[in-house]
Homo-oligomer: A and B are copies of this chain.
């Protein structure tokens, strides 16, 4: 991918040192719009549950375990024990973990958003540019769900296009505006990420997100797997590194879709406040939709 001329991008738009990317689009006005969505306090989690795998299970424990994003060591404190505690090892970009990608996660032509050389931004010693530090205060904005799975999962050979997004807006009676978090439902929570091919959004859909000013993408799927070689993945290959748009991978939007259908509205307050750990390339998150 040498020619990025016709790809949507924001390098330079908010300066050469910018680390927020499209989160810059979340203004006070956007947050006020988000606040107006909250009426009853009903809340819905968009995260899949993670069952940690025990690092040690003893001679009479299980012999094998499902591979988990989280490994756990549990301990008693004191003798007799007055407390219990644990230490966990977390794989930040695990396909079975709902997680928020920082902008330094993806390298484009030796650089990370907005054009910082990889070696300057990320080394063994840590991430100096484009890390989860950008999420320190939590992300609070308006969220919009576009649901493509009301009648069943999106087929594996179908891509979500810009036209599909607009048709969904029409169907739901909602319009994605600048600064909104876009939640997309493919209906693939049960079947995704088990080695099988899966559908995704296409580059025109990402161009549409750029035009509309989407601040963050959260989907139960995002890019098609396997990626089609020769063209970059629309979200991980273009939206994140070139537009500076954070992605929440592996959400579960099933309950959200039910609630939206029940309430007859597809917009809500959206809060994604992962642990305030700076300097990471990504971090597990439990996004919450508030109605």
Residues on A facing B (Cβ under 8 Å): 28, 30-35, 38-45, 47-67, 70-95, 97-98, 104-107, 110, 112, 118-119, 122-127, 133, 136-138, 140, 193-195, 225-226, 236, 269, 271-288, 290
Partner of A271, one of B34, B49, B236, B271: B271
Q: How far is the CA of A49 from the CA of B73 in the complex (A)?
A: 23
Kindly list 16 other residue pairs between chains A and B, CB separation below 8 angstroms, not including A28-B42, A85-B105: A43-B138, A50-B278, A55-B71, A55-B87, A55-B89, A57-B125, A60-B225, A70-B277, A72-B126, A73-B87, A74-B122, A76-B76, A83-B106, A271-B288, A273-B288, A276-B284
Partner of A140, one of B41, B53, B89: B41
Q: How far is the CA of A280 from the CA of B122 in the complex (A)?
A: 24
Do the beta carbons of B72 and A71 come within 8 Å of each other?
A: no
Do the beta carbons of A136 and B49 come within 8 Å of each other?
A: yes
Do the beta carbons of B47 and A275 come within 8 Å of each other?
A: yes
Return the chain B residue nearest A81 by Cβ: B79
Partner of A124, one of B56, B124, B275: B56
Return the chain B residue nearest A35 by Cβ: B41
Do the beta carbons of B28 and A32 come within 8 Å of each other?
A: no
Chain B nearest CB from A9 CB (Å) reads 17
Q: A35-B39, A281-B84 are in contact. Are A276 and B124 (CB under 8 A)?
A: no
A195 to chain B: which residues have CB within 8 Å? Answer: 59-61, 63
A140 to chain B: which residues have CB within 8 Å? Answer: 41, 43, 288, 290
Do the beta carbons of B281 and A86 come within 8 Å of each other?
A: yes
Do the beta carbons of B279 and A52 come within 8 Å of each other?
A: yes
Partner of A87, one of B61, B80, B91, B118: B91
Q: How far is the CA of A106 from the CA of B77 in the complex (A)?
A: 9
A64 to chain B: which residues have CB within 8 Å? Answer: 64-67
Do the beta carbons of A119 and B79 come within 8 Å of each other?
A: yes
Q: How far is the CA of A48 from the CA of B278 in the complex (A)?
A: 10
Partner of A80, one of B44, B79, B104, B288: B79
Chain B nearest CB from A141 CB (Å) reads 8
Do the beta carbons of A127 and B278 come within 8 Å of each other?
A: no
Do the beta carbons of B94 and A56 come within 8 Å of each other?
A: yes
Q: A84-B107, A275-B274 are in contact. Are A124 and B77 (CB under 8 A)?
A: yes
Do the beta carbons of B54 and A124 come within 8 Å of each other?
A: yes
Residue of A60, A118, A278, A286 contacting most chain B CB atoms (<10 Å) = A286
A67 to chain B: which residues have CB within 8 Å? Answer: 53-54, 57, 61-65
Chain B nearest CB from A178 CB (Å) reads 15
A-B pairs with the 3 shortest C-beta distances? A31-B41, A75-B75, A275-B284
Do the beta carbons of A55 and B91 come within 8 Å of each other?
A: yes
Do the beta carbons of B278 and A286 come within 8 Å of each other?
A: no
